Amino acid sequence: MLALRAGKIIMSDLASLEQRALTDLRACTDEAALRAWNTRYLKGEVDQAMKRIGELPPADRPAYGQQIHALKNKLSSEYETALAKAKERALARSLASDALDVTLPGRPARRGRLHISTQTLRAIYTIFADLGFQVYRSSEVEDDETNFGLLNMPEHHPARDMWDTFHTTKPGVLLRTHTSPGQIHVMRELCPKPIRVILPGMCYRYEAITTRSEIMFHQVEGLAIGERVTMADLKGTLIAFARRLFGDRRKVRIRSSYFPFTEPSIEVDMDCIVCAGEGCSLCKKSGWLEILGAGMVHPVVLRNGGYDPERFSGFAFGMGPERIAMLSYAIDDIRQFWANDLRFLQQFGT
């Protein structure tokens, strides 16, 4: 008997809750008051009423469950209707108080800008175009023979350890580790004509990502072949390039080096653009910054490209646009070029 009376009391509470909720809902005049009502009733008292179903006799629980769900649906519908009307009233007030003057000029759209790597690449293209070089592009996917073998690095050659390679699932096919295989393509296409080209493109190496190394990066390869091409031509070309790109007063230093596809091989340094050769953290206190590697094309590579090394000679060079940009702007982390951070990218150009 006591359980039956308790059930009737709980059932009557739902009717009282509905009446109070609807009365308070009609008193809400704005969106903030409606959201406060939602928190008090739909997320508060209605949820608490649903939890009281356990106090009822088992026979009364189905009817109570139907009634509480009907109440929740009704209050939710009334709330959504009232909220939509409140938003319409707020919009009407905003339009009335903040009239739009359609004769005013529109806001200018924010313009995009070129990526710093693209800007550097275009500067390099312009300089070498003025020096008589054309742009030649080759595939980013190469076979092992073109990427290594024809560049004087046969299988098991120790120089292959200089490049950590991404191999594909197809044997003998890989992502190029440098733009140098493009030399073979352009030589075989143009032989026996003279050549003066740059070969820009993306390269890939399986390396640890650090502040100074990435798994993908741009390179610009250069190649010149003719019957009387000398080391003096290479030196003059690179000095002219460095001074055009970094400034007329730049000092250039040439050091001996080793690359399997050039002989002799050199590396080119420029006096530090930050400290003017005095020594700083960017140049590691040396006063010099390495900007590229180069050399005279190895006779084996000339022959593999179709040229007779007894008659023809040539020079080649390679540089990294990201590294050049890092030197130009004193950027200390190459990962910034690929992070797509607008705070970094918006610093360069307009």
> Where are the domains positioned within the chain?
2-97, 116-345
- The pTM (predicted TM-score) of the whole model is 0.67
Mean local confidence (pLDDT), 70-80: 87
Of residues 150 and 30, more confidently modeled: 150
CA distance 131 to 12: 94
As a whole number, mean pLDDT of residues 132-148 equals: 95
Cis-peptide, bond into residue 299, ω within 30° of zero: no
2-51 pLDDT per residue, tens: 344 444 556 667 788 888 888 888 888 888 888 888 888 888 888 888 88
| pLDDT at 119 (0 to 100) | 93
Integer Rg of the chain from CA: 37
pLDDT at 128: 97
DSSP state at residue 10: H
Q: What CATH homologous superfamily does 116-345 map to?
A: Bira Bifunctional Protein; Domain 2 (3.30.930.10)
**What is the average per-residue pLDDT within 111-118?**
89
pLDDT in tens, 86-95: 888 888 888 7
Instruction: Examine the pLDDT at 1 and tell me if it is beyond 50.
Output: no
What is the mean predicted confidence (pLDDT) over 138-162? 91
Given a contact cutoff of 8 angstroms between Cβ atoms, the answer to whether 181 and 147 are in contact is yes
- Pull the structure tokens for residue 334: 């190459």
Tell me the percentage of the chain whose pLDDT exceeds 90: 46
